[in-house]
Structure 1
Amino acid sequence: MDSVELEKRSAAEAAVKNHYPANAKWVGIGSGTTIVFVVEAIKKLEIDTSLTKFVPTGYQSKQLILSAGLTAVEFDSLPEGVVLDVAFDGADEVDDNLNCIKGGGACLFQEKLVVLQAKEFICVADSRKLKPRLLTAWKAIPIEVAPIAVYRVLRELKKLGSIDPTIRTNTIAKAGPLKTDQGFFIIDAPFPPLRLPSEMIPLTDGTRPADAWDVETLSKTIKEIPGVLEVGIFSGVTGPQAQAAGGIGGQKPVAAYFGMPDGTVVEKKAVY
């Protein structure tokens, strides 16, 4: 196992140890390579999971749950009123305020559905994913788009300052655009690094330079483009903040765990 895989395992074990609830009944399981180690860590707890239902964010995570001998329940099969005890997922990049970019694995819509149905979203990642600002190393925002609207969305993204947004293709190019579990396309939209709201300078002339977007404003602006199903920016409130306002869950993790090259784990908690 290489060093990055060891980082992922260390982060997953720490996250599960600190946040897997006793007598959990409903647990969200995200997508990506790091989540393999989350499921492994849950199995290592050696607790009775026979009454626990695990909710996947896509085909890959469902297969991971089943392969581990756990019970998978599709999101659209959840009984009315069910709230997940916790949701574990990875990220492509996480900033100082725990805003995340997700969607490198093309499951962003279902990932957002699951974390918004959970009391807590716990992010698990390796050290490469921790950056001061989003779009530092991970250069593009994944956006899930209806195929019929894809060219319209591309034009609108360019107007917002995206630098050469592109339709994501399959690994085998002749297979055409990659399709999500919903049968939608993914657009990868590069932007300059995103600012935190506290860093924004008021716009006096009504124009917005391409490098003057903050995380929350850009996410909401893209989401408003007709044809966009979901945006791969996870920001806003945490689960506890949403519950305090009468909701259920939030897009932002309450905590993020990063495995480091020296074998340690860095835990970052949301600031309220």
Structure 2
Amino acid sequence: MICSASCRLSRNIGRRDIILRAMSTLEQSKKNAAYEAVDNHIKSGYVVGIGSGSTVIYAVERLAQRVLNENLNVRCVPTSFQARELIIKYKLNLTDLDIDYKLDVCIDGADEVDESLNLIKGGGGCLLQEKIVASCADELIIIADHTKNSSQLGDQYRKGIPIEVVPMAYVPVKNRLESLYGGKIELRLAKMKAGPVVTDNGNFILDWKEFDQNLNWNEVSTKISSIPGVVEIGLFVQMAKKAYFGMTDGTVKVQE
């Protein structure tokens, strides 16, 4: 039986609707996780670290609502240019670590979270500033959708562990990492220009893929960080206090 043009069009529209519904559900799950975390962990008088990524947009949205409705007094430290622009857009009080070097809480996303609350972060290239801000906070609270919740790092996130490196050192660091731990290490390339991604700090990013999932991440993080030319690694080991995952059924799973 030959499918007519109208039949093919109908199928394409059906697929598109399925994709749009899935995307809508995913965005709602991000929003649910972000709203619950902001409601549970931010009080008036707090200095708050604002992370980066698509889920954090909902956290800032909710925080702005609470500032307006509850007359909440908070100051916000951004982890990236994107976070700074969000703080300004929602007319929240912008500060920085020069002024507020001790934070009450940092709300941030993650590319993957394992069962021990170890994180892969840096898919958006902001790992250095994210780790600095998180390290200054009493609590690091992670918000994400259910696809970021894994048993082991690497179960679902296949884009690799980001490693920020000084540009002149990226080849020596790449070779050293491959000799130490194997796997596949790639220089992250920009999408809309020729050449590598350049971070807010003027560095390159290596993505470490196909790694051994049974490594001791605390030891790995310490070892890689000691390699000359490495600025930071997107492994956040034993830093997060709690993670909120928006689920497909509208509930929020809390891991701690």
Interval containing the TM-score (normalised by the shorter chain): 0.7 to 0.9
- With normalisation by structure 2, the TM-score equals 0.86
Aligned to 1:168: 188
Which amino acid in 1 is paired with 2:249? D
Per-residue CA distance 1:67-120 (angstroms, 9 max, x = gap): 001122233x325xx411110000000000100000000000000000100011
Deviation at 1:218, TM superposition (A): 1.3
Return the letter of the residue paired with 2:37.
A
1:220 match = 222
- 1:143 aligned partner, one-letter code: I
Paired residue for 1:239? none
| Structure 2 unaligned regions, length at least 5 | 1-22
> What are the equivalent positions in structure 2 for 1:87-166 lying under 5 Å apart?
87-139=106-158, 140-166=160-186
Q: In the alignment, is residue 178 of structure 1 matched against residue 197 of structure 2?
A: yes
1:256 aligns with 2:250: no
Contact 1:141-1:231 at 8 Å conserved across structures:
yes
Of Structure 1 and Structure 2, the greater helix share is in 2
CA distance in 2, matches of 1:260, 1:225: 39
Looking at structure 2, the residues matched to 188 and 162 of structure 1 have their Cα atoms a distance apart, in angstroms, of 13
Give the Cα separation in 2 of the matches to 1:42 and 1:156.
Answer: 43
Q: Name the stretch that deviates more: 134-143 or 176-185.
A: 134-143
The letter for the 2-side match of 1:53 is R
Letter in 2 for 1:43: A
Q: CA deviation at 1:224?
A: 1.2
TM-score of the superposed pair, with normalisation by structure 1:
0.82
Structure 1: distance between partners of 2:209 and 2:99 = 35
3-state SS of 1:2 partner: helix
- For residues 63-102 of structure 1, the aligned pairs below 5 Å read 63-75=85-97, 77-79=98-100, 82-102=101-121
Shift of 1:253: 1.2
Which runs of 5 or more structure 1 residues have no equivalent in the other structure?
196-212, 237-251
| Segment of structure 1 superposing worse, 184-193 or 110-119 | 184-193
Within 2, Cα distance between the matches of 1:19 and 1:36?
Answer: 16
- Structure 1 stretches of 4+ with a deviation exceeding 4 A read none
Query: Using the alignment, how far apart are the partners of 1:162 and 1:58 within structure 2?
Result: 31
Identity, in percent, stands at 40
Question: CA-atom RMSD, angstroms?
Answer: 1.4
Moved more, 34-43 or 66-75: 66-75
Q: Deviations over 1:2-30 (max 9, x none)?
A: 11100100000111111112x23311000
- The amino acid of 1:89's aligned partner reads D
> Is the counterpart of residue 47 in structure 1 residue 70 in structure 2?
yes
